[in-house]
């Protein structure tokens, strides 16, 4: 990486986070000296096994689960598939319906599509204009609904969902609850036991760990049909030789996140307030999405009327600032995000959405640098739109 590339100010932590130095050190040591298969019975294998089990304890501690409930997977997408497909498939004789919130991540929508192809029916639970699910929908689930999926924090807006209450109502209707906690873990306290979620998913690269390592927490007694069958890995729940370096990195990242959680929450919230206040001052008419509900402390999703998402992203990138478009951009066209559409955000507002997400490396100086560059970037983006006819 060149010095120039390093100067990019990074406001895209919800997409992926910089790896923590403690994680780099642990993963490097592991790659260097822990090459054995954790299933091997010799001493080298047992050293790898011990490292794996330590990581299991670290992950369990972050989400208040028991170590034997932790199943290591390759990340959020696989964890969501294993929970949704494996959880529903294990109960296919009891019913062939699932219900997922309208604002779930593509990984959950994708898993539901797999089930649809297997003959399941998929219902979508509506959300209000803040992106929060309508809990009363859970009181009217179709008979035979075996699984409900409600995320803890939305990746685009940061909106938090009433998962504990969703779990209670789902259970009452005979459905198990899956909770995608990929964006919540490490940013807000996550207590799998208190949420009473049957399945809960986290991903290493969203909390300062490596890509390709994540965990599915399967509550004791919750049924699960494995998607990969192997030689009994992960107690028969996920076949495949474990990614020991990745899992060790995930464990250390979980430990760091837990250690820093109490201090990072208020610090990021203060940065978010400073960022939002600055944006409101420099862009009158800005619409901050999910502003009136409880949100992750690190996320701002806002629309800047007249500046299309992709134009503004490029204008900021040119000024050394990395953000995410709050709309899907492909081959010159821009489509509103399904999350904002589910929140009934008008199309012309939704196509101007931008997501700014912060994390452990974000400083007040970086927030100020973004705010200093913003008015000019906004003018540039609006000029492109005006030139191109919108
Ligand atoms: N779930 C949510 C809420 C996410 O934000 C993401 C990643 O963006 C995923 C699942 C997928 O995680 P991974 O990138 O580890 O597959």
Residues 309 and 212 in one domain: no
Separation between Cα atoms, residue 74 and residue 155, nearest integer Å:
19
Instruction: Give the model's pLDDT for residue 180.
Output: 98
Q: What mean pLDDT is predicted for residues 53-80?
A: 98
Instruction: Give the model's pLDDT for residue 230.
Output: 84
Cα 73 to ligand 1 centroid, rounded to whole Å: 13
Instruction: Give the model's pLDDT for residue 3.
Output: 46
pLDDT digits (tens, 9 = 90+) for 89-135: 999 999 999 999 999 999 999 999 999 999 999 999 999 999 999 99
Residues 45 and 193 in one domain: yes
Residues 324 and 206 in one domain: no
CB 234 within 8 A of CB 247: no
Instruction: Give 231's pLDDT tier (boundaries 50, 70, 90).
Output: confident
Q: In what order do the strands lie in the sheet with 324-325?
A: 287-288, 299-303, 353-357, 324-325
Residues 77 and 163 in one domain: yes
CB 122 within 8 A of CB 100: yes
Instruction: Give the model's pLDDT for residue 329.
Output: 73
Which residue range(s) make up the domain with 306? Answer: 9-17+262-388
In a domain, 278, yes or no: yes
In a domain, 160, yes or no: yes
Closest ligand 1 atom to Cα of 104: 3
Instruction: Give the model's pLDDT for residue 4.
Output: 47
Instruction: Give the model's pLDDT for residue 184.
Output: 98
Q: What mean pLDDT is predicted for residues 321-325?
A: 96
**CATH number of the domain encompassing residue 304:** 3.90.1150.10
Q: Which of 209, 236, 256 is the last residue of a domain?
A: 256
Q: What mean pLDDT is predicted for residues 65-75?
A: 98
Q: Cβ(182) to ligand 1 under 6 A?
A: yes
Please give the distance of CA 128 from its chain centroid, rounded to a whole number: 20
pLDDT surpasses 80 at 82: yes
Instruction: Give the model's pLDDT for residue 83.
Output: 98
CB 304 within 8 A of CB 294: no
Instruction: Give the model's pLDDT for residue 390.
Output: 47
* pTM for the model: 0.96
Residues 13 and 27 in one domain: no
pLDDT surpasses 70 at 267: yes
Residues 249 and 299 in one domain: no
For the chain, the three-class secondary structure string (H helix, E strand, C coil) is CCHHHHCCEECECCCCCCCCHHHHHHHHHHHHHCCCCCCCCCHHHHHHHHHHHHHHHHHHHHCCCCHHHEEEECCHHHHHHHHHHHHHHCCCCCCCEEEEECCCCHHHHHHHHHHHHCCCEEEEECECCCCCECHHHHHHCCCCEEEEECCCECCCCCEECCHHHHHHHHHHCCCEEEEECCCCECCECCCHHHHCCCEEEEEHHHCCCCCCCEEEEECCCCCCCCCCCCCCHHHHCCCCCCCHHHHHHHHHHHHHHHHHHHHHHHHHHHHHHHHHHHHHHHCCCCEECCCCCCECCCEEEEECCCCCHHHHHHHHHHCCEECEECEEEECCEEEECHHHHHCCCCHHHHCCEEEEECCCCCCHHHHHHHHHHHHHHHHHHHHHHHHHCC
Instruction: Give 327's pLDDT tier (boundaries 50, 70, 90).
Output: confident
pLDDT digits (tens, 9 = 90+) for 328-367: 776 677 899 999 999 999 999 999 999 999 999 999 999 9
179, 256, 329, 352: the active-site residue: 329
Q: Give the number of domains in the chain.
A: 2
Nearest CA to ligand 1 atom 8: 15
Residues 232 and 166 in one domain: yes
Instruction: Give the model's pLDDT for residue 7.
Output: 62
Q: Cβ(200) to ligand 1 under 6 A?
A: no
Q: What mean pLDDT is predicted for residues 168-182?
A: 98
Q: Alpha carbon of 261 to those of 55, 62, 250, 386: distances in Å?
A: 18, 10, 16, 44
Cα 169 to ligand 1 centroid, rounded to whole Å: 25
CB 123 within 8 A of CB 88: no
Instruction: Give the model's pLDDT for residue 357.
Output: 98
Cα 79 to ligand 1 centroid, rounded to whole Å: 9
Mark whether 329 is an active-site residue. Answer: yes
Residues 146 and 231 in one domain: yes
- The mean pLDDT value of the chain amounts to 95
């Amino acid at each position: 990486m060149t010095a120039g590339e390093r100067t990019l100010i990074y406001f895209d932590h919800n997409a992926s986070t910089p790896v923590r130095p403690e994680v780099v050190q642990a993963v490097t040591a592991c790659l260097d000296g822990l090459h054995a298969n954790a299933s091997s019975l010799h001493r080298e294998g047992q050293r790898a096994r011990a490292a794996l089990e330590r990581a299991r304890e670290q992950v369990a501690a972050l989400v208040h689960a028991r170590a034997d409930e932790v199943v290591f997977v390759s990340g959020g997408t696989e964890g969501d598939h294993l929970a949704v497909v494996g959880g529903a498939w294990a109960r296919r004789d009891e019913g062939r319906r699932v219900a997922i919130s309208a604002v779930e991540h593509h990984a959950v929508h994708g898993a539901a599509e797999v089930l649809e192809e297997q003959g399941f029916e998929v219902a979508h639970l509506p959300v209000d204009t803040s992106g929060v699910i309508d809990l009363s929908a859970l009181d009217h689930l179709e008979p035979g609904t075996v699984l409900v999926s409600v995320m803890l924090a939305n990746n685009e807006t940061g909106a938090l969902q009433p998962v504990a209450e969703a779990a209670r109502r789902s259970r009452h209707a005979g459905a198990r609850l899956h909770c995608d906690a990929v964006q919540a873990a490490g940013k807000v306290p996550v207590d799998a036991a208190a949420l009473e979620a049957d399945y809960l998913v986290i991903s290493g690269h969203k909390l300062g760990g490596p890509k390709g390592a994540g965990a599915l927490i399967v509550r004791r007694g919750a049924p699960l049909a494995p998607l990969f069958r192997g030689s009994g890995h992960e107690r028969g729940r996920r076949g495949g030789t474990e990614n020991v370096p990745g899992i060790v990195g995930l464990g250390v990242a979980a430990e760091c996140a837990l250690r820093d959680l109490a201090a990072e929450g208020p610090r990021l919230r203060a940065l978010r307030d400073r960022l939002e206040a600055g944006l409101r001052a420099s862009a009158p008419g800005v619409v901050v999405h999910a502003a009136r509900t409880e949100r992750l402390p690190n996320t701002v999703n806002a629309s800047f009327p007249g500046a299309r998402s992709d134009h503004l992203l490029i204008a900021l990138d040119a000024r050394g600032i990395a953000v995410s478009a709050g709309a899907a951009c492909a081959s010159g066209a821009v489509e509103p995000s399904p999350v904002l559409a589910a929140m009934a955000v008008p199309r012309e507002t939704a196509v101007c959405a931008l997501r700014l997400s912060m994390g452990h490396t974000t400083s007040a100086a970086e927030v100020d640098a973004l705010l200093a560059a913003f008015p000019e970037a906004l003018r540039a983006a609006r000029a492109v739109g005006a030139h191109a006819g919108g």
